[in-house]
Each structure stands twice: as structure tokens, then as C-alpha cells.
Amino acid sequence: MHRPKRVPLRRCVGCREMKPKKELIRIVRTPEGQITVDPTGKKPGRGAYVCPSVNCLAGAVKGKRLQRALAHPIPEQVIDAVREEISHGNVRSRHKG
């Protein structure tokens, strides 16, 4: 008998809902302190997750929840990169795992 595969869940820092990791966009603070979007979900460092929704991103930024989750100020170009991911619908369907 096979056990069903466990789906890893993560909390969106915008809406604070638990969702499957693959459905969320990961923003990572690397060990060197660089903040970047992590399309693979595998980069080393502290990660924060946000739904692929402009409203969730806005809530995460406005409430400084994204900044708090990564314990680092978030550069505007990173927020723009997340907006770009959302507008193109490029949420992790491109990676398996």
C-alpha cells in the first residue's frame, strides 16, 4: 500500500493562508544578504512566500510583512520582479519538486 505523497505547505505573507508550496512565489534572502526571486524554490537562504496575486503582494509589502519575514529591506526591483512573475503567470509550473 502506498502512502499519499505529502504536499509541502507554506504560508503566504500577504494573505497568511497556507497553500501548496508550488503555487506560491518564493522570495529569498541569500546567505550573502541579497534579496531575489527564487523561481526554482531551491536557492539557499531564508525564504518568504507570496501568492501569485497583486493583492497579496501589495498586502505583504504595505504591511512590511515581507520585509519582516526576510529580516531585511526589500529592494523595489525585487517587488517589480515579483509583479512581473504574477503578470506573466509564471508560477512554478515550470519546475517539478
In the CATH scheme, what is the code of domain 9-88?
A: 3.30.1230.10
pLDDT score of 77: 96
pLDDT higher than threshold 80 for residue 28: yes
Q: What is the mean pLDDT of the chain?
A: 90
Summarised one tens digit per residue, pLDDT across range 48-92 is 999 999 999 999 999 999 999 999 999 999 999 999 989 887 664
For the chain, domain boundaries? 9-88
pTM of the entire structure?
Answer: 0.86
Write the CA distances from 31 to 36, 39, 68, 72, 78, integer angstroms: 12, 17, 16, 12, 17
